[in-house]
Amino acid sequence: MSSREADRISAAQQTLDTLYEISQLLNTQLDKETLATCVGMIESGVNPEALAAVIQELRREAAAAQNAQPDVR
């Protein structure tokens, strides 16, 4: 691996770490892998507002599905 490529990878990792810290401060509840996926999608042209709306809807559906399950003890 060239020095230039190593620098690029290091910068990308540092950027992701910073974005993750910001997401933690904003209480987004996104793990690093999910955040990296979202960043990649946005870099590929996905509308950030539409992506946020999809994530919110998926969370609502997951919560509704979890609440619909009977409490097993």
Question: Please, where are the H alpha helices in 26-47?
Answer: 32-43
pLDDT in tens, 13-30: 999 999 999 999 999 999
pLDDT in tens, 24-54: 999 999 999 999 999 999 999 999 999 999 9
Handedness of CA 26, 29, 35, 38 (dihedral sign): negative
pTM of the full structure: 0.78
